[in-house]
């Protein structure tokens, strides 16, 4: 009985701890950080395919996006957001913004919340 109560308490604690990064709290102007540890395409950040990036003169180096700060410009009704780099430069030297599904990207650790504007 005692172990089942402890397991239940740990379960409740873990649910509340992981529920902090919710995309419903995010709004335009908030700053996020792109996190990626491998040079594979993102699943929920919708960049162009590598051949289109190269045709426009860019290098499709996804690993270079690791720890890049982005700002939310707009959020659509379906949960996708328009993200622009905070430093004003372009993604892969070709694209000024990228679209991302916020909730799924936060769950898969492709995006982290850096600061929330109040």
Residue 32 host element (H or E) = strand 31-34
Phi then psi for residue 54, to 5 deg, are -70, -35
Distance in angstroms (rounded) separating the CA atoms of residues 61 and 6 = 46
How far, rounded to the nearest angstrom, does the alpha carbon of residue 95 sit from its chain's CA centroid?
A: 17
Q: Please report, for residues 4, 16, 106, 107, the alpha-carbon distance to residue 11 in angstroms, rounded to integers and kept in the order given.
A: 10, 9, 21, 18
Q: What residue ranges do the domains of the chain occupy?
A: 23-115
**Structure confidence at residue 72 (pLDDT):** 92
Distance in angstroms (rounded) separating the CA atoms of residues 107 and 39 = 19
In order, the DSSP letters of 60-92 are --GGGGTTEEEEEEEE-TTSEEEEEETTS--BT
Mean pLDDT in each 10-residue stretch from start to end of the chain (118 residues)? 75 57 73 81 84 83 85 91 90 89 89 76
By CB neighbour count within 10 A (0-12 exposed, 13-18 middle, 19+ buried), where does 101 fall?
A: buried
**Structure confidence at residue 91 (pLDDT):** 86
**Structure confidence at residue 21 (pLDDT):** 47
């Amino acid at each position: 009985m005692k172990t089942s109560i402890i397991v239940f308490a740990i379960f409740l604690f873990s649910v509340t701890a992981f529920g902090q990064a919710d995309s419903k709290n995010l709004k335009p102007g908030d700053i996020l950080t792109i996190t990626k540890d491998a040079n594979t395409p993102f699943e929920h950040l919708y960049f162009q395919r590598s051949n289109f990036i190269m045709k426009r003169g860019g290098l499709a180096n996804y690993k270079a996006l690791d720890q890049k700060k982005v700002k939310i410009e707009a959020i659509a009704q379906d949960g996708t957001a328009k993200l622009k780099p905070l430093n004003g430069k372009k993604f892969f030297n070709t694209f000024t913004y990228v679209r991302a599904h916020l909730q799924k990207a936060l769950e898969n650790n492709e995006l982290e919340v850096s600061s929330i504007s109040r």
